[in-house]
Structure 1
Amino acid sequence: MPVRKQAVELVRLAAPVVIARASIMCMVLVDTIMVGHYGATALAELALANAFFFVLLVSASGLLIGTLIFTAKAHGAQNYAECGQVWRRSLPYAVLIGFAGFALCLLTEPLLLVTRQTPALAKSGASLTLMLGASMPILLCYIVSANFLEGIKRPIPPMVIMLFANIVNIGANWVLIFGKLGMPELGAMGSVIATILVRFVALCLILGYIWHMRDWQLFGVRIPDPNGWRASWRGWAEQRKLGLAHGLSAAIEASAFSAMTLLAGLLGTLAIAAYTIALNLIGMNFMIALGFASATTVSIGNARGAEDYRTARQIGWTGLALCAAVQATIVIAMAVNPAMFAAFYTTEAELLATVIPLIALTAWVIILDGGQGIMATALRGWNDSWVPTLTHLCSYAIVMIPCGWWLTQRAGHGPLGLIEAILIASAISVSLLCLRYIWLTGRHVRAAR
């Protein structure tokens, strides 16, 4: 397939996925902005809650990556009924993981106390985490359903649902955070309640769409596995095997970033609020990378299903280049005028002075972090499970955390040192993953000749 045709197909698939992923992150962005305007203390509470919950959520989402990859591969091989079976197997697995995640949320307060957070902040952050954890089964069922639709090249419905969910979230936040329309003023807790409500609405909408789509019979979404539960169990085991590596990789990266949040907490309320804003911008822009990563993985899976390995290899590089080109426009704006981005989050002069230098450096993190996200997912499209995991372990756990500690606690760089550590780790990660992709795909192409 010509590179130009690959690029057009990737953009066609990636655009709605990017919007959908960005919409998910936009809800976090809106929560951060609205709670930030409510007060710095409330923002710190929400940041600690999200730091712990984010680790669980990203890890759980990683465990479910098999839904996307196996659906895309079955779709490429024109085995449409298997696509529906992949989705049906994924739903109970998502519920199980969700309840396990909720149970782990009970550990939040002692863990926050161990990391030297103040008792008051640990208690309030833990209560918010527990509320978020209660909605994890709902959120994970939504994620596997969205992955299924993306795998069969129907990313528009999840995009529309998430855009609608953002509208609901803004209204619910306004009412519950600030106590409008006769409701009590709940601050950060109001934001969490709004989030839970929105997740439930989104799940109902996406399940309704899948269950009633016109070609539900073709994809077998209402039909149990005709080969019986043993065949279903074997298929689930294959999905789980791939998901375990990705889940561990996601857990390592998310845990490392949460550790950086805890390091920011040691620098004070102002530092953690500033770092949260910078991290929110990184996460928001990473949704662009996740959108292109999803499109890249689907296209690689389709090409491998059709046994076109040369095209599959080219798709990885095309996805990386397209993602970098799109992110570059945002990076330039952030580097040139970081104050404009900071003004969206806060009007407090002291917080603005702290966060503006962080945003200027964050701009360069975005390109490298997005690149490593694309290449890690592309490798998993080739069923390369464990090397990306080891790469993330090396880059983010072994390099980033010690660098962040040294730069903040010894070198005196303050919260800026945390962004510097992320920059170093992301550069190492994307370099190692690119080298792995060159070697692995070259081996597959040579073997297919």
Structure 2
Amino acid sequence: MPQDKPVSKELFTLAFPVILSNLSRVLMSVVDVAMVGRLGAAALAATGMGAMLFWGALSLVIGIRTGVQTVASRRLGQKKYDQCGTALHNGLFMATVYALPMSLAGWLLAKDFIPYFINDIKATPLTIEYSSIVFLGLLFSAYSFVFQGFYTGVEKTKIHMNVSITSNVINVYLNAGLIYGSEGVKLFFSETAPPLAFLSHLWQWTTFPAMGVKGAAIATL
């Protein structure tokens, strides 16, 4: 099949920001694991199980994202630009209807359903603490998926890429401070990334306690 260079270039221009956006999300998860892993096996198991449950709940929003992307793209091709926004608004409404009650359920009921998935004297309480917090952010993560579908549909993939990369970098920085505290964050940066050790000074304006797994969950919000 012959290749069409202009089409290939256009596809790459649209796809590359999406690739970077998704890659930044994966790298953020890897960094999270590396940070929490320093706290021990129980903390690592707690965040791993909590993240799995969170992404399991969030995965249902992928269908909404695909729908918004499809409709917005079609309306863009038809030059019905106002209806592109209508697709976004409807997608956000559907995401709210699903994610808001799911978020509240995860926050309120984590202590009831987590023991069915993990039964360890150390890991279970940490998993409950982590999951109950990260589920509060389910609605905002659902909105992020919907916006990704919209911006992909209207061929503005760089917007979501910039937002994703920026938010993930902030998440990693907050992780370091909230997990290890104002004193531990200095040691973390000096041991793992000496060139970035200066970043720890921003946490020195006050004495901030190490929050461990709870800090990782708050940073994820």
TM-score by length of structure 1 reads 0.41
**Mapping of 1:108-187 within 5 angstroms?**
108-115=110-117, 117-180=119-182, 181=203, 182-187=207-212
In the alignment, what sits opposite 1:73? Answer: 74
Describe the superposition over 1:194-224 as per-residue Cα deviations: whole angstroms up to 9, x where unpaired: 111xxxxxxxxxxxxxxxxxxxxxxxxxxxx
Task: Report what 1:96 is aligned to.
Answer: 97
* Percent of aligned pairs with the same amino acid: 23
Give, as a single letter, the amino acid of the residue that structure 1 aligns with 2:29.
V
Residue of structure 2 in register with 1:244 after alignment = none
Bigger radius of gyration among the two: 1
Q: Is the 8 A contact 1:177 1:189 kept in 2?
A: yes
In the TM superposition, residue 110 of structure 1 has moved relative to its aligned partner by 3.7
- When residues 107 and 3 of structure 1 are mapped into structure 2, their CA distance, relative to the original with a 3 A threshold, is farther
Residue 116 of structure 1: CA displacement?
5.4
Indicate if the aligned counterparts of 1:46 and 1:188 stay in contact, CA closer than 8 A.
yes
Q: Structure 1 CA distance, aligned partners of 2:65 and 2:169?
A: 27
- Decide whether the 8 Å contact of 1:38 with 1:178 is kept in 2: no
Q: Distance in 2 between matches of 1:28 and 1:42?
A: 15
Aligned pairs (5 A) from 1:50-61? 50-61=51-62
Please state whether the residue corresponding to 1:122 is helix, strand or coil. helix
After superposition, what is the alpha-carbon deviation per residue over 1:288-338, rounded to whole angstroms, capped at 9, x for unaligned?
Answer: xxxxxxxxxxxxxxxxxxxxxxxxxxxxxxxxxxxxxxxxxxxxxxxxxxx
Alignment partners' CA distance in 1, 2:139 and 2:173: 24
Secondary structure in 1 matching 2:97: helix
Alpha-carbon offset, residue 160 of structure 1 = 1.2
Q: Which amino acid aligns with 2:47?
A: L
Distance 2:157 2:41 in 1: 37
CA shift at 1:58, angstroms?
1.0
- Classify the secondary structure of the residue corresponding to 2:210: coil
SS at match of 1:117: coil
In structure 2, the CA distance between the partners of 1:190 and 1:142, relative to structure 1 (3 Å rule), is same
Match of 2:60, SS state, is: helix
- Whether the 8 Å contact between 1:70 and 1:83 is mirrored in structure 2 is yes
Preserved contact between residue 113 and residue 119 of structure 1 (Cα < 8 Å):
no
Q: CA deviation at 1:74?
A: 1.4
Deviations 1:376-420 (A, max 9, x none): xxxxxxxxxxxxxxxxxxxxxxxxxxxxxxxxxxxxxxxxxxxxx
Shifted more, 42-51 versus 57-66: the winner is: 57-66
Deviation by residue 1:333-379 (Cα, 9 ceiling, x = unmatched): xxxxxxxxxxxxxxxxxxxxxxxxxxxxxxxxxxxxxxxxxxxxxxx
Q: Distance in 2 between matches of 1:31 and 1:115?
A: 21
Superposition deviation, residue 2 in structure 1: 4.4
> Which consecutive residues of structure 1, in runs of 5 or more, have no partner in the other structure?
197-449
Q: Structure 1 pair 57/78, CA: closer, same or farther in 2 (3 Å)?
A: same
Residue 119 of structure 2 aligns to a residue whose secondary structure is coil
Distance in 1, Cα, partners of 2:3 & 2:9: 10
Q: Which runs of 5+ in 2 are unaligned?
A: 183-202
Q: Which residue of 1 aligns with 2:46?
A: 45
User: 1:415-449 CA deviation, whole Å, 9 max, x = no partner?
Assistant: xxxxxxxxxxxxxxxxxxxxxxxxxxxxxxxxxxx
Partner of 1:195: 220
Shift of 1:143: 2.0
Tell me, in whole angstroms, the C-alpha distance in 2 between the residues paired with 1:171 and 1:108.
27
What is the DSSP-based 3-state SS (H/G/I as helix, E as strand, rest coil) of the residue aligned with 2:26?
A: helix
Report the Cα offset of residue 119 of structure 1. 4.6
Amino acid at match of 1:125: T
- Look up the equivalent residue of 2:63 and give its one-letter code: G
In 2, Cα distance between equivalents of 1:11 and 1:44: 38
- 1:99, 1:136 within 8 Å by CA — same for their partners in 2? yes
The one-letter amino acid paired with 2:161 is: M
What residue number does 2:27 align with? 26
State the Cα distance separating 1:63 from its structure 2 match. 3.4
Quote the offset at 1:68 in angstroms. 0.9
Segments of 4+ in structure 1 off by > 3 A? Answer: 1-6, 106-112
* Structure with more contact order per residue of length (Cα contacts < 8 Å, sep ≥ 6): 2
What residue identity is the alignment partner of 2:14? Answer: L
Q: Work out the number of aligned pairs and report it.
A: 196
Whichever residue aligns with residue 194 of structure 1, its letter is A
- How do residues 34-433 of structure 1 correspond to structure 2 at under 5 angstroms? 34-105=35-106, 106-115=108-117, 117-180=119-182, 181=203, 182-196=207-221
